[in-house]
Structure 1
Amino acid sequence: MSGLTQAMAAQMAGIALGHVARPYPYKMDHVLLDDGDARPPRALHPIFFGSFDWHSCVHGWWTLLTLRRLYPDMAEARAIAELADASFTAQKVAVERAYLDRPMSAGFERPYGWAWLLYLHLEATRHGDRDWGERLRPLADAFADRFRRYLAILTYPIRAGTHFNTAFALILSLQWARAFDADLAGLIREKAQGWFKGDEGAQAWEPSGDDFLSPTLTEAVLMQRVLGDGFDPWFAGFLPNRDQRRPETLFTPATVSDRSDGKIAHLDGLNLSRGWCWRLLGEPQVAQAHLDAAMPHLSGDYMGEHWLQSFALLALLNDI
């Protein structure tokens, strides 16, 4: 761990416990085929009905399980376990799994929610006193199959700074695939190198107004994991003026003008995710500057509160 204390963990867990089972407000990724499809979120997603949207609920659960593992003696750990036991049941997992087979659900939460579900499953398997990993495995396998099919038809990577970003999804998914699916891990490495290995002289025209990911830095972190010993020369060509702190925008925390606006509040997440990336890429001072800009704002408005803890936790840990 790096910078995460038990007091911080307890505070973050309390916030996440307050939203993973909060049913409303909720933004659905749901295609209606007839009047019968107009059903409340809890009926469609009996596990991931909170946290404003499906993917945020998934990584809210990742946050809770991770904090429980790291600090099993904190008071919130028992509440996390009890809620997980009640949530990760075979019946509820089956309903979540069945939703993926609905007509026109092939693109549901692609690829961001897919990646976070795999990462949640990986974390669930680390809790030896519970069978949460076994319970969630059908969902993980379903999303792994979707990744295989998606990567086979994805001609170009998506370089947006939002949920559609390809590199971020592959970072999390590769972690899962290394443990559970060697073929998928190989496919991810192959596609990443085909898309990104030739990139050099990144201009870093970012951030956009609702980014919560850095297209430039997430690509670099993915390639760090894919290239191994070949990463340093690739990175030197990708950001050739890094020593001069250029492009300047990559080294400067984003300004957040209105945290009640859900899209503008994304920029707090950008600062957190950049902090995560810069730490992994060997720039601790730059990482800290970004964290300092965002960490005071993890709560206070639900537009950020329902998801920012996950990115703060990524930035504070050393295990990815």
Structure 2
Amino acid sequence: MKSSFFLLLLNLFFVVTFLPLFSQNKPDLTDEIALKLSALPLNCIDQEYPNKPGHTYGSADETGFSPKALHPVFYGCFDWHSSVHAHWMLVRLLKIKPDIANKNEIIAKLNSSFNKQAVEVEKEYFTKYVTGKGFERTYGWAWLLKLDEELVSWDNPIAGQWHENLQPLIGQIIELWMEYLPKQTYPNRTGVHPNSAFALGFAIDWARENGNKEFEKELINKSLDFYGDDRETPAHLEPDGADFFSPSLEITDLMRRILSRNDFEKWLDSFYTQKGIDRISQIPVVSDLSDYQTVHLVGLSFSRAWCMKGIAKSLSEGHPLKPHFEQTAQKLLSNALPLVFDGNYGGEHWLASFALMALE
């Protein structure tokens, strides 16, 4: 009884303290919300433990390596990919909120991370260890390119320096990805990290921003091969119990990048059933915010929202899914945004960057 009463008081405190910050109709990235979101990556980028390094030991000599020894840049935030998109988030906030109150703290943190020697160690990891070539393929690779895309597209001297320092690692990832694409026979349609459509979409964005036509062509060809003939996708079976992606929406968000509007709408009209649309429009039920897997479903609301926003922008005014996706995206955002601050490290180490993606 005492525990239940304490949880009730905690929830009431949260509602009174944080809920007024979020518009229930159309959540906006206000300065106050941006500042609160930025605190989460700032708190975890230098937090080495708990940690899920994903390292495959090739010999007994490696058993003493700490996460920071293996990854001197992206060692915090529980795992490598979460650290990468935490860095992306801080760069993005500096870019769109140049007067954010903790600007100096963010710059100092990023200056510390993006140093040439540490980046070289990160690069070497992918060729030095037994399974290095497959490390973070392709989810972490995609977020790394998103980070670099943010820097490349920002006309700012310090961003230019960070971008330059990252290039050895970026070059290594592009080389590995180009090597992997011809071998990637089948797509991964899961709702978690290995999802192929998510990574292909981010990689295409990077290739276009950087003018890498060869990489872009290979990515587009692979996307069309994987998804061009998809029909009546079983979206009514989504989600799985720990999904933070909608497999069907990730595919749709990818295809809107590579098809003309007319071709995309034809493809879309045969891709979804009404039953599937109804299902992905429902707010995911999150039964336990403290569970490191169940909390993924909060991220699902955010990724659904950013996909729906991107898809809606690509549709003509008369398409019925345009207003539906616009409205559903806001509903998902309104429900999920307060939950970013209401769990534990299982959500705090990554959800803020998903929230930022969805808010924009």
Partner SS, residue 132 of structure 2: coil
**Percent of residue pairs bearing the same amino acid type:** 38
How much does 1:104 deviate?
2.0
What runs of 5+ residues in structure 1 fail to find an aligned partner? none
The residue number in structure 1 matching 2:345 is: 302
How much does 1:293 deviate?
2.1
Q: Deviations over 1:25-64 (max 9, x none)?
A: 1101101112221210111111101000000000000001
Q: 1:23 aligns with which of 15, 29, 48?
A: 48
Give the distance between the partners of 1:136 and 1:302, measured in 2 at CA: 28
Q: 1:166 aligns with which of 175, 196, 205?
A: 196
The residue number in structure 2 matching 1:138 is: 168
Partner SS, residue 278 of structure 1: helix
Contact (CA 8 Å) 1:276, 1:315: kept in 2 or not? yes
Residue identity matched to 1:178: R
Tell me how many residue pairs correspond in the alignment.
313
Q: 2:39 aligns with which of 5, 14, 32?
A: 14
Q: 1:128 aligns with which of 156, 159, 175?
A: 156
Q: Which has the higher helix share?
A: 2
Give the distance between the partners of 2:117 and 2:276, measured in 1 at CA: 52
Partner SS, residue 157 of structure 2: coil
**Which structure 1 residue ranges, 4+ long, deviate > 3 Å from structure 2?**
none
Residue identity matched to 2:179: R
TM-score, structure 1 normalization: 0.95
The residue number in structure 2 matching 1:187 is: 218
Deviates more, 1:231-240 or 1:41-50: 231-240
Give the distance between the partners of 2:151 and 2:74, measured in 1 at CA: 15
Give the distance between the partners of 2:184 and 2:119, measured in 1 at CA: 28
Contact (CA 8 Å) 2:234, 2:276: kept in 1 or not? no
Q: Deviations over 1:198-246 (max 9, x none)?
A: 11112212100110000000000000001122211111111253xxx74
Residue identity matched to 1:69: K
TM-score, structure 2 normalization: 0.84
The residue number in structure 1 matching 2:230 is: 199
The residue number in structure 1 matching 2:132 is: 105
Contact (CA 8 Å) 2:44, 2:76: kept in 1 or not? yes
Contact (CA 8 Å) 1:272, 1:291: kept in 2 or not? yes
Residue identity matched to 2:355: A
Contact (CA 8 Å) 1:20, 1:48: kept in 2 or not? yes
Contact (CA 8 Å) 2:244, 2:296: kept in 1 or not? yes
How much does 1:124 deviate?
2.2
Aligned counterparts, 1:38-187, within 5 A: 38=63, 39-102=65-128, 103-125=130-152, 126=154, 128-130=156-158, 131-180=161-210, 181-187=212-218
Give the distance between the partners of 1:152 and 1:307, measured in 2 at CA: 31
Give the distance between the partners of 2:146 and 2:200, measured in 1 at CA: 11
Give the distance between the partners of 1:209 and 1:29, measured in 2 at CA: 22
Q: Deviations over 1:79-137 (max 9, x none)?
A: 11111112111100011011111222111001100000111111122251211011111
How much does 1:3 deviate?
2.1
The residue number in structure 2 matching 1:259 is: 289
1:22–1:95 CA distance, 2 compared to 1 (3 A): same
The residue number in structure 1 matching 2:335 is: 293
The residue number in structure 1 matching 2:16 is: none
What runs of 5+ residues in structure 2 fail to find an aligned partner? 1-26, 313-324
1:114–1:246 CA distance, 2 compared to 1 (3 A): closer
Residue identity matched to 1:113: G
Give the distance between the partners of 1:169 and 1:281, measured in 2 at CA: 17
Contact (CA 8 Å) 1:273, 1:311: kept in 2 or not? yes
Give the distance between the partners of 2:193 and 2:98, measured in 1 at CA: 31
Give the distance between the partners of 2:100 and 2:357, measured in 1 at CA: 20
Contact (CA 8 Å) 1:16, 1:60: kept in 2 or not? yes
The residue number in structure 1 matching 2:241 is: 209
1:41–1:246 CA distance, 2 compared to 1 (3 A): closer
How much does 1:308 deviate?
0.5
Contact (CA 8 Å) 1:69, 1:127: kept in 2 or not? no
Give the distance between the partners of 1:12 and 1:165, measured in 2 at CA: 26
